[in-house]
Structure 1
Amino acid sequence: MGNHEATSLRQASAGTAKKLGARLFSFLIISDTHVNHEEAGSSSPWPSNKLANRRSRHVFAKARQMDPAFIVHLGDMVHPVPDQEIYGDAAQAFFELSAVVECPLHLTPGNHDVGDKPVSWMPAGVVTEATVQKYRETFGRDFYAFRHDGCLFIILNASLVNSGLPLERDQQSWLEATLAAGGADRVFMFIHYPLYVSDPKEPGGYDNIDEPGRSWLLDLIAKHAPEAVFSGHVHNFWYDVYGSTEMYVVPAISFVRQDYSEFYKIEPGPENGRDDAAKLGFVVVDVHEYGHVAKIERSYGALLESGEDVAAEARLDPIHTKTNGLERIGVDLRHPWSEVVEIAPSGGVDEFGRKFARNDYPVLALWEMGVRTLRVPLQDLAAPNTRRRMELLTAIGHRFIVYLYNLPTAAEQGMLASFHHLVAACEIIMPWPLPSDALARLVRFRQDVGVPVFLSKLRPRCNGANGSHRFSHAISHGFVLDEAAELASLLSLSPGLADGFVFRVGREASVAAWVARLQDWAATCGTQAVLSVRLASDNPAENANDDSANANRVAEAVFGTFAADRITIVLDAFTDIDRGYFARTGLVDRRYNPRAAGAVTKNLHAHFATRTASGRTVHPVRQADGGIIFAHTGADGLELLVLPSKHHATVREIALEESVLPEAGTGRCINLRKGTVREFDWTVMSRGGAVKMRLREEIVESDPMLLCFENDEMKLLMGGNDERDSLAR
């Protein structure tokens, strides 16, 4: 043992995270507010449309608190169309609602603001010179550019494209000249209609720009390579890359386009999906030296009444996958994550044909949590469409663990070799004990393919043993801790066999205990480990749908792994499994809206993005009133993870082992479900033997929480004697 030093999972080709450099400034993107002419009325028949003004008021109040450099509105400022008498009243309401923001507000014309694109089947009025003039008199310029800090921002009038109006040619000439004269400027473009939703070659319809205008714009994008293009209109999220340009379709503030509820193999959200409020929100764009990060800020359809304001609240700043340096927290993508779905015509828009669209909400959820490492089957690498998505995600920092059963065939080995740049590690599940020729073949495969190899064990089932009448057709794989010594011997005999091993911790076992033991074992053997963290019961008929319990389990796993540099955990599973076998809740539900476990993952990633992982000491588990506590000490001070066992956990007094402490200090309490942060004060009550600290006020939380003691003078030397005073009471 100890003579074999395996490599870790290979980093994505973009490096630890995309090399963006320092953040220069931030701006907001708001889209599709659909403000009505009156506070609680609408010309639309859906109840959710009547909430648009109050939802907009809330978002503009939040925007004022965030103090961005500027805001870009992507269109459909108002719901009434230009030929309705109430159009002017709605515009006035929009200006009143948006007047609270103190930064510049740049407006992009939407089809509700300036008229629909010119097609014969469009039920509303199409764009005309008169509607453009009305827009200009009401909102201002309909295509223009502005600069900020070395960047050029271009606003386009999407409805003019393919219109045949003289104004169309004016916009074309202006855009071509503006891009040609852009010089060294970094360029961002904004347009209401997406050029396309999922595929540049998709048919024209209500949700995109038709030909020939689409090809004209795409050719300009290919030639001038703007950094990003942002679109609205579809009230849902999509992401793609065209050439080197990142293409975004962003959510709405007001309501969701409910025809895309076809994405989800579950009943639609409220109002047939139109009021699936978790999908409402805006975009925070951080512009860095060498790129940008677009983060979706969910508003959840929050309402703000006239005369009210949004309470100021300290919160963690979410970390996007692009900028997250922590790559050892992964998820198992059991469900399709880049699925193209047929959207059935239902009598609304796009009535005369089928349309196909890719569900990108899994990607949105992963980015919002900051998750980088993704476990997928080999079929995902083999399928061209999914492989292209792997290419795009690898370029921004994702890593893929590709798994298969048994030694790969010649064709599979060739595919892995051809696309090795997309594979951070290859997980091979093998029958055990290994066949006689397997050792040599594994060594050759690892050498020939050039990707890290992690071995997992197919576990036999002892069905019917000891006279039992129970039988289960359920597969189990992954090593257990009791087999670690056997693996160490195997590594000594065949040092080139594998880069690491895959272990599986059952739902009832402590993840923190497994992580600590695996870290010590891997360090001794000079190897790495992947730990599959089961959220499911070992009983395939039992539903593990306790959302709070799963949130606790995920918090324990992520917190423990941060201090273990030889362990990668894979949370199983990412999405709810609500049918079939081993039903359990995941990090997101079947509509890909965040669950408590997903929120905990997001907020722990956000917290750890500012912390130092090296040199941390993990301390034994202690009991709190109504919960349990895990502890780290390190360069950042002391951190306590408090997990409520039932309704809530309470912390007031904290007993530490022999330590050197200042007399008092200030700490932070982070609610890991909400991301809220509040400060607390503590003082030393007694010294000698153990040291007791007391919080000025009792902290009670029903969600997992993190207590951070960050005083610069603090030098903690906590011991491991469980028989002393409990850590919190």
Structure 2
Amino acid sequence: MFDRSFLPPADLEFVVMTDTHYMLDPGGERVEFESRRRQAARAAHALRLVASLDAAFVVHLGDLIQEFPESHGFAESLDQALAQLDACGVQPRLVAGNHDVGDKPDPTMPTDWVTSETLKSFHDRFGQSWSSWNMAGCHFVVLNSQIMNGPLPEVAIQERWLEADLAAHTGMPIFLFMHLSLFLVSPSEQGLGHYDNIDEPARSWLVDLIQRHHVQMVVSGHTHFSFFNRIGEARSRVVPSTAFTRPGFCEVFSSAPPPERGRDDVFKLGFLLVRVRDGRASVHLVRTDGAMTGPTISVQRLVARTSQDLPDSPLGITMRHPLSPATEVPIAWQSTIRQPVRNDYPLLGCLELGVRYARIPAADLSNASQRERLATLRDEGVSLTATWIWSERSPLVTEAAEHRDGLDGIEVQYPGALLPNAACLRAITRSAQETRLPVALSPLLPRETVPGKQHARTRTGYHLAELPALDQYLGEHGVRVDRVLCRVDGGQSPWSAIGQTHDLLPLGQIAAIEWAVEFEDADPRRQVSRAVEAMAATATVSGARLFLEPLVDLDRTMDAPPGLLDRLCNPRTVFHVVRTLNTILFSEPQTWKPAAGSSIPDATTFVLESADARLLVMLPDDPERAAIRLSATDLRAAVADARPERVRVVHLETGTIRSLDPRALDSITVDGATVLLVERGKAQASKLPDA
């Protein structure tokens, strides 16, 4: 079901899933939420996907069933859930959750605490609820978070065991699994009355062990909502459910609540595929979207690379919103306090897209919480450029020097004119000298007339035609900049606008060009076309970067461009397109060149060539009629002279891929934005001119 051919090699792959909440069929009985009727089928679909990955092992982080240990039907539900696992071909290592053994020892919890009886029942059936094993040079540890801070004698037994186990495996990459998280936002957050974390003193004890033994990753479940933290060197991931989302957490979104008051936000459901190479883990979210069935076996889902594995990608994001907004969940069942909560979906979305660059306002550097989140983003492979609006009183030089260890670039935005004055040029030179950071330049031009708008707008970025005069001006003042930001205006074709760079470069004082492309059309197909054109064109320009704007919808401003994510931070169609195309174009270091190609009826096409492959990118001309038919003649023309070793069709909007026999090409029909990927054998590629 999955195509991992674009991923780097791995020493080990494993899957982490959680909170499948198998539920007995309620039949005609009334249920509080209709989505409960779909939980078991959603679990079955997710398990079939997991089985198809054929990973070395699977960890289930707890809450295998919906019933609690004290509930009527608990035993029957558990039997059926285990039968479902067998039927789907998955035998996971089971972590104890509150639905499996009981709630944590907090007098405010809504169900019974773990008892000696429920714990013994779990141990008798599944083995001890804390354990460890080694594989591929890594050490894996399962803990029972439900008993921590409690009165049972097993608490001390688990503590002594863990301390000895970690001490015996110091120096190995260590992965730790448990149901509850140590915290969601801050190590100092309240535990009593908090439904979703581990209270003191166990929290500090475990944090100390994680830091002392250099644990690489801590993975937990329970919240049905994704979070990403750092505990010292360790990455802490909270895995989403495959069954449903939890109401309350959607308070972090500036939107109406998702269906069922936040309980059925299906586009947040999924599990993790973790790939380990040289002791370093890359984490891939496999979205299940609440589905209960999947595509045919002839179509595979492409597993895309994440930011840390795409060093050659030019993809960037402009942070119009804060990276990680925070709020408090109101006092409401199941918690009896206001729970601090943070929206980590924009950050996680950047990693899933494979973003390598982010432009942030310099003011974010003065905000401790945002600065910490930006540092986390940077640790995952995303370079940060801070933007300052220039004035004579600008703190550019001092602030850039203060934060240089957390930055990868500086952008100076000069207001009101295309050419910066002498004072600004001196500050640019001084900043570059003192920080050793690359400097980009951009104009900030108010009062730009935009057709169809009552009021003039502000333009950030140059037009390509303005660069020769800027380059000459910089040369006259003896100033060189590493980059300038250019903008593709609304109504312009990104393929045409960015492609004109070939006629301009090289420049004397400007080393490279960055492009900002805003999504202006709410129509999903036109948004997709704009993104595909921009990415394809940028791939052909050496050293260029592409900033897509915005990451999250702007829907309550004078202009309302849709984002890659909607206001619930769920992916729009264009998100999947960008994620998939980013992996196809930039998984390997290669030079793409625009090439001529035959036309396809009812489609706009672009052809890219590299030493190893030819890409035919197809976009439907009519967004209302997205089907594109390729005849056998069209396909033969597309592969002509390419000497293909294999031919694959990638549907960008769904991220699915299928193979064609290059020796027997027949007509096909594709829907929406599509890439025909013609791959040459290495020996053939080496014979190509300019390869």
Structure 1 residues 34 and 605: alpha-carbon distance in aligned structure 2, compared to 1, 3 A threshold: same
Q: Which moved more, 1:188-197 or 1:379-388?
A: 379-388
Match of 2:607 among 626, 631, 634: 631
Tell me if 1:619 matches 2:595. yes
Match of 1:287 among 251, 276, 284: 276
Counterparts of 1:635 and 1:43 in 2: how far apart (Å)?
62
Aligned to 2:539: 562
Q: How much does 1:617 deviate?
A: 2.0
Partner AA of 2:375 in structure 1: E
Counterparts of 1:587 and 1:670 in 2: how far apart (Å)?
20
Aligned to 1:607: 584
Match of 1:76 among 60, 63, 81: 63
Aligned to 1:704: 673
Structure 1 residues 409 and 519: alpha-carbon distance in aligned structure 2, compared to 1, 3 A threshold: farther
Structure 1 residues 469 and 613: alpha-carbon distance in aligned structure 2, compared to 1, 3 A threshold: closer
Structure 1 residues 224 and 44: alpha-carbon distance in aligned structure 2, compared to 1, 3 A threshold: farther
Contact persistence 1:235–1:251 (CA under 8 A): yes
Match of 1:196 among 166, 171, 183: 183
Structure 1 residues 383 and 327: alpha-carbon distance in aligned structure 2, compared to 1, 3 A threshold: farther
Structure 1 residues 567 and 40: alpha-carbon distance in aligned structure 2, compared to 1, 3 A threshold: farther
Q: How much does 1:493 deviate?
A: 1.7
Match of 2:109 among 122, 133, 140: 122
* SS of equivalent residue, structure 2 residue 500: helix
List aligned pairs for 1:362-441, cutoff 5 A: 362-407=346-391, 409=393, 411-430=395-414, 431-432=416-417, 433-441=419-427
Partner AA of 2:290 in structure 1: G
Partner AA of 1:601 in structure 2: V
Match of 1:485 among 468, 475, 483: 468
Counterparts of 1:482 and 1:573 in 2: how far apart (Å)?
25
Q: How much does 1:664 deviate?
A: 7.8
Counterparts of 1:427 and 1:622 in 2: how far apart (Å)?
41
Counterparts of 2:374 and 2:262 in 1: how far apart (Å)?
29
Counterparts of 1:73 and 1:380 in 2: how far apart (Å)?
37
Contact persistence 2:554–2:562 (CA under 8 A): yes
Cα deviations by residue, 1:73-103 (Å, 9 ceiling, x for unpaired): 0000111111123111111111111114556
Aligned to 1:541: none
Contact persistence 2:615–2:677 (CA under 8 A): yes
Structure 1 residues 657 and 138: alpha-carbon distance in aligned structure 2, compared to 1, 3 A threshold: closer
Structure 1 residues 522 and 199: alpha-carbon distance in aligned structure 2, compared to 1, 3 A threshold: farther
Partner AA of 2:62 in structure 1: G
* SS of equivalent residue, structure 2 residue 78: helix
Contact persistence 1:21–1:290 (CA under 8 A): no
Structure 1 residues 409 and 301: alpha-carbon distance in aligned structure 2, compared to 1, 3 A threshold: same
Q: How much does 1:495 deviate?
A: 4.1
Q: How much does 1:612 deviate?
A: 4.2
Match of 1:320 among 306, 331, 334: 306
Match of 2:497 among 504, 508, 514: 514
Aligned to 2:629: 650
Match of 1:145 among 132, 157, 160: 132
* SS of equivalent residue, structure 1 residue 315: strand
Task: Give TM-score scaled by structure 2 length.
Answer: 0.91
* SS of equivalent residue, structure 2 residue 515: strand
Counterparts of 1:622 and 1:587 in 2: how far apart (Å)?
31
Partner AA of 1:172 in structure 2: E
Structure 1 residues 199 and 582: alpha-carbon distance in aligned structure 2, compared to 1, 3 A threshold: same
Match of 1:87 among 65, 74, 92: 74
Partner AA of 1:630 in structure 2: F
Counterparts of 1:49 and 1:515 in 2: how far apart (Å)?
49
Contact persistence 2:565–2:575 (CA under 8 A): yes
Q: How much does 1:193 deviate?
A: 0.7
Structure 1 residues 86 and 667: alpha-carbon distance in aligned structure 2, compared to 1, 3 A threshold: same
Aligned to 2:324: 338
* SS of equivalent residue, structure 2 residue 506: helix
Structure 1 residues 220 and 612: alpha-carbon distance in aligned structure 2, compared to 1, 3 A threshold: closer
Counterparts of 1:666 and 1:199 in 2: how far apart (Å)?
50
Contact persistence 1:330–1:372 (CA under 8 A): yes
Task: Give TM-score scaled by structure 1 length.
Answer: 0.87
Cα deviations by residue, 1:13-61 (Å, 9 ceiling, x for unpaired): xxxxxxx995201000010011123376899622222211111111111
Partner AA of 2:653 in structure 1: R
Tell me if 1:262 matches 2:251. yes
Tell me if 1:208 matches 2:197. yes
Counterparts of 2:675 and 2:436 in 1: how far apart (Å)?
40
* SS of equivalent residue, structure 2 residue 302: coil
Cα deviations by residue, 1:327-371 (Å, 9 ceiling, x for unpaired): 41111121122111121123x1113x2221111011121111111
Q: How much does 1:524 deviate?
A: 4.1
Aligned to 1:15: none
Structure 1 residues 412 and 483: alpha-carbon distance in aligned structure 2, compared to 1, 3 A threshold: closer
Contact persistence 2:412–2:428 (CA under 8 A): no
Counterparts of 1:643 and 1:310 in 2: how far apart (Å)?
24
Q: Which moved more, 1:61-70 or 1:390-399?
A: 390-399
Contact persistence 2:448–2:459 (CA under 8 A): no
Counterparts of 2:312 and 2:29 in 1: how far apart (Å)?
46
Aligned to 1:673: 653
Q: How much does 1:681 deviate?
A: 4.3
Contact persistence 2:607–2:616 (CA under 8 A): yes
Q: How much does 1:520 deviate?
A: 4.2
Partner AA of 1:389 in structure 2: R
Counterparts of 1:478 and 1:52 in 2: how far apart (Å)?
49
Contact persistence 1:146–1:154 (CA under 8 A): yes
Cα deviations by residue, 1:649-676 (Å, 9 ceiling, x for unpaired): 3333449999982788742111011111
* SS of equivalent residue, structure 1 residue 198: coil
Q: Which has the higher contact order (CA 8 A, sep 6+)?
A: 1
Aligned to 2:158: 171
* SS of equivalent residue, structure 2 residue 81: helix
Counterparts of 1:259 and 1:86 in 2: how far apart (Å)?
27
Partner AA of 1:488 in structure 2: D
Contact persistence 2:651–2:671 (CA under 8 A): no
Tell me if 1:225 matches 2:214. yes
Report sequence identity in percent.
28
Tell me if 1:499 matches 2:499. no
Report the count of equivalent residues: 672
Q: How much does 1:566 deviate?
A: 2.4
Counterparts of 1:664 and 1:640 in 2: how far apart (Å)?
13
Contact persistence 1:68–1:103 (CA under 8 A): no
Q: How much does 1:455 deviate?
A: 1.2
Contact persistence 2:597–2:638 (CA under 8 A): no
Q: How much does 1:310 deviate?
A: 7.0
Aligned to 1:349: 334
Partner AA of 2:72 in structure 1: E
Structure 1 residues 523 and 469: alpha-carbon distance in aligned structure 2, compared to 1, 3 A threshold: closer
Partner AA of 1:186 in structure 2: P
List aligned pairs for 1:524-535, cutoff 5 A: 524-525=507-508, 527-535=511-519
Contact persistence 2:15–2:58 (CA under 8 A): yes
Q: How much does 1:478 deviate?
A: 1.3
* Structure 2: runs of 5+ lacking an equivalent: 1-6
Q: How much does 1:417 deviate?
A: 0.9
RMSD between aligned residues: 2.8
Partner AA of 2:525 in structure 1: S
Contact persistence 1:661–1:716 (CA under 8 A): no
* SS of equivalent residue, structure 1 residue 214: helix
